[in-house]
Amino acid sequence: MTDPMQLEIPGLTDAILGEIQASLHAVSPADLNALVAEIERAPKVFCLGAGRSGILLQAFCMRLNHLGFEAYMAGGLPCPPVGADDLIIAASGSGETRSVSAVLDQGRQAGARVALFTARRSGNRSMAADVTVIIPAPAGLVNRDHPQNLQPMRTLFEQVFFLICEAIVCSLRMKKGIGEEEMAQRHANLE
């Protein structure tokens, strides 16, 4: 491998794209298909994440609404109560984010199903999910488990997570036969 200290920006972007592609190709298609099926059958979808993962989930939640799904950011305004058979989509690279874990516990008590994006194969028991999508990427704030990666901390997890969410949006759009014009009609007009 080329010494990263010798790479110019274009070389670094090529290396980063390689990391993203390798991680994407290692995500289980069966897990992704199971997640899409969960979204399709859920009466309501709640998105839950902290930090940068939470920000990326806001974008995904918006697109779900553009597709006609009833989707909310957990704890946001407005946010109705979660109920039986609703779906909570959570993202936690570490699989141990306490604030996310606590909300998942409440959702499970109300009968909601849980889908989790994480970089850890085995995390805290309270982060158990009906569908778990493992993204092979660094899980900690210090990158000890993938030292060959150029990017710091959980950046690779977040990039792959965002791309997967965009692919899910594309898949749902095609399955539902929704054109961009229809999606645009659901886009905010008070900006």
The residues annotated as belonging to the active site are: 158
Helix (H, G, I), strand (E, B) or coil at 3: coil
Burial class (CB in 10 A: 0-12, 13-18, 19+), 157: buried
Distances (CA, A) of 173 to 40, 65, 70: 11, 11, 15
What is the CA 96 to chain-centroid distance, rounded? 15
Q: Give yes or no for a contact between 94 and 66, defined as CB atoms under 8 angstroms apart.
A: no
How many Å apart are CA 43 and CA 104, to the nearest integer? 17
Q: Give yes or no for a contact between 150 and 14, defined as CB atoms under 8 angstroms apart.
A: no
